[in-house]
Each structure stands twice: as structure tokens, then as C-alpha cells.
């Protein structure tokens, strides 16, 4: 069993292909990120980890960028342990791991053996897939594609989303990349007298898109903005040729899970996020 680090996103995509058979929603992270790296190469100093592991009848895939956790998805647990061995050699400051519970737990246990850092469950996640948008109630106001005049507002609200959800992302990265994403049309806004909600997506992969983030101003929640906006964005992505859409929810949040079920998203697999802590 050997871990192979990939520097070419195309080679990584070819090597990681078997992971899609274990669940499209989970695999969409790996495929989507690799296509994003092809479309927009990262700065030379940004940390990128693309790896596969195969042997002894097991298979695994791992990705990690910048300050985020390592994603192991539906990898076999044995390969998750091998990824921990590989990463501990040069990145002991890793913040955490995300993946199917068995794989994530195996990685975390091995990480503690290697670095002395323990782990704590941060959130249990559910991966969803959509192929057809259901009818949803109308909401006051209207959707529109975000433009350059929305840039400061989008950065502020995306930063608020990171703080509220605990997602491992750097506000500096959000500010640095938001302009390019807005130019591409990657964000929509719901207006009701003013901007009240946003939805972003990554459509770099040819057959699908992954929707995130979804955020409504706290004072304007409960009025159907997010439901209407996600449904609008989903219809537009399908109309433009995407065959399926994916998103992630917190299993403990009944509101968001109900919203996405109403739109037509169906659960496919579960993950967990484990944070590494000292001591």
C-alpha cells in the first residue's frame, strides 16, 4: 500500500476515479477541487495536497488546501491511516479531518499516535444530490446574479458565514478570490429592498456543480429567501447543462435539511469533521 502525491490535477483525476463508485456526492469534493485547480491554478505558495493510495485490496483519496482539513471521503480506513503517516512528515499543524466516520476516525487515531494531538468531533455532515428541482413557495423580492458593486457585501457576509458555521477557511482567501468568482457569475443574491441572502457554487467540473455557501442575514431569516434562491440557482445550473448538483448540510440543523429536501435534494452519504487539538 503506497501513497502517491499528485502535482497534476489531471493525473489526480484519473487516479482518483474509482472513488466515485462509492458515492457521487462525497466524490464531488475531490473531482470539483481538481477541476478548480485546472481552471484557476493556485498561487505558488499555497499548500495543495492531492493524494491517492491503493494496495492490499483497499483504495483511498485525500485532498487538502491552505488552512483547511484533509478530506478523505469514502476512503478505506487503512488508506486514511496511510495518509496520516504521509502528512505528518511535513504538516503536523493540520487543523482536522473530514470524511466517512470510519475513515476519519482512523486518520485521527493515527494522527494522535504520530503528533500527540487528540481530536474532537466538530460536526456531523450529510451529503445530498439533486437532479430535478421541485416547486417551492415564492418569497418576497427577487433573485439576481451578483456583480462588482456587491463585492464588499459578499466578502462581509461570506466571512460571517465562516464565523457562524466554523468552516475552516481564511477570510483573507475569501477576500482575495471573491472578485474573480463574481466575474465568473459564481454568486447569486436575493434582493428584498436590499441584499438579504446569497448563494455561491463551484461549477468547474463538467457534469455537476457543488452549491456553497448559502447564507441569509440573521435578521431576515424565516422568510423563504434561501429556499427560493437555492431553487433558482439550481434551475439555472441544470438549464446550463449540469446533470446533478451537490451540497452539504449539518445533520443537527433541521431547518436547512428541511429546506433542501423541499427543493429536491436527497441524502446520499454521511461524513464527520474532527478537529485536532493539543493535549
CATH number, domain containing residue 146 = 3.40.630.30
**In a shared domain, residues 202 and 256:** yes
Count of the separate structural domains present in the chain: 2
Q: pLDDT above 70 covers what percent of the chain?
A: 100
Whether residue 270 lies inside any domain: the answer is no
Q: Tell me, what's the pLDDT at 45?
A: 86
The answer to whether 61 touches 72, Cβ cutoff 8 Å, is yes
Q: Tell me, what's the pLDDT at 227?
A: 97
**In a shared domain, residues 49 and 138:** no
**In a shared domain, residues 73 and 174:** no
* Distance (Å, whole) CA 223 – CA 8: 45
Q: Quickly list DSSP for 130-172.
A: ESSPPP----SSEEEE--GGGHHHHHHHHHHHHHHHT----HH
Q: Tell me, what's the pLDDT at 173?
A: 85
**In a shared domain, residues 77 and 146:** no
**In a shared domain, residues 137 and 65:** no
Whether residue 276 lies inside any domain: the answer is no
CA-atom Rg of the chain in angstroms: 19
Whether residue 274 lies inside any domain: the answer is no
Going edge to edge, which strands form the sheet with 48-55? Answer: 2-5, 48-55, 58-65, 70-73, 96-99, 266-277, 118-130, 244-250, 208-216, 195-202, 187-191, 142-145
Whether residue 219 lies inside any domain: the answer is yes
**In a shared domain, residues 259 and 140:** yes
**In a shared domain, residues 46 and 139:** no
Q: Tell me, what's the pLDDT at 85?
A: 97
Whether residue 210 lies inside any domain: the answer is yes
**In a shared domain, residues 114 and 196:** no
* Distance (Å, whole) CA 156 – CA 174: 9
What range does the domain containing 8 cover? Answer: 2-125
Question: Where is the domain boundary, 93, 125, 157?
Answer: 125
Question: Where is the domain boundary, 83, 100, 125?
Answer: 125
**In a shared domain, residues 108 and 152:** no
Whether residue 209 lies inside any domain: the answer is yes
Question: Where is the domain boundary, 97, 125, 153?
Answer: 125
**In a shared domain, residues 137 and 49:** no
What stretches in the chain show pLDDT beneath 70?
279
**In a shared domain, residues 105 and 166:** no
Q: Tell me, what's the pLDDT at 67?
A: 83
Whether residue 213 lies inside any domain: the answer is yes
Whether residue 273 lies inside any domain: the answer is no
Measuring CA to CA, how many Å separate 250 from each of 247, 262, 274? 10, 16, 14
**In a shared domain, residues 140 and 225:** yes
Amino acid at each position: 500500500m503506497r501513497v502517491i502525491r499528485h502535482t497534476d490535477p489531471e493525473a489526480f483525476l484519473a487516479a482518483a476515479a474509482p472513488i466515485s463508485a462509492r458515492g457521487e456526492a462525497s466524490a464531488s469534493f475531490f473531482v470539483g477541487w481538481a477541476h478548480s485547480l485546472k481552471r484557476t491554478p493556485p498561487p505558488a505558495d499555497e499548500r495543495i495536497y492531492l493524494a491517492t493510495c491503493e494496495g492490499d485490496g483497499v483504495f483511498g483519496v485525500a485532498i487538502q488546501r491552505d488552512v483547511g482539513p484533509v478530506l478523505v471521503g469514502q476512503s478505506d480506513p487503512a488508506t486514511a491511516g496511510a495518509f496520516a503517516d504521509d502528512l505528518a512528515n511535513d504538516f503536523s499543524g493540520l487543523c482536522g479531518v473530514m470524511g466517512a466516520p470510519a475513515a476519519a476516525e482512523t486518520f485521527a487515531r493515527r494522527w494522535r499516535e504520530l503528533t500527540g494531538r487528540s481530536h474532537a468531533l466538530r460536526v456531523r455532515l450529510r451529503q445530498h444530490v439533486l437532479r430535478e428541482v421541485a416547486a417551492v413557495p415564492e418569497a418576497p423580492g427577487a433573485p439576481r446574479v451578483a456583480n462588482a458593486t456587491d463585492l464588499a457585501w459578499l466578502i462581509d457576509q461570506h466571512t460571517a458565514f465562516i464565523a457562524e458555521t466554523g468552516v475552516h477557511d481564511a477570510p483573507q482567501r475569501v477576500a482575495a478570490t471573491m472578485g474573480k468568482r463574481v466575474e465568473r457569475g459564481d454568486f447569486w443574491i436575493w434582493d428584498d429592498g436590499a441584499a438579504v441572502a446569497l448563494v455561491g457554487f463551484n461549477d468547474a467540473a463538467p457534469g455537476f456543480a457543488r452549491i456553497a455557501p448559502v447564507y441569509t442575514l440573521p435578521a431576515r431569516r424565516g422568510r423563504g429567501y434561501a429556499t427560493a434562491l437555492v431553487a433558482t440557482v439550481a434551475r439555472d445550473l441544470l438549464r446550463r447543462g449540469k446533470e446533478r448538483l451537490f451540497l452539504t448540510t449539518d445533520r443537527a440543523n433541521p431547518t436547512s435539511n428541511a429546506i433542501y429536501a423541499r427543493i429536491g435534494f436527497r441524502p446520499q452519504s454521511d461524513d464527520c469533521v474532527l478537529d485536532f487539538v493539543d493535549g
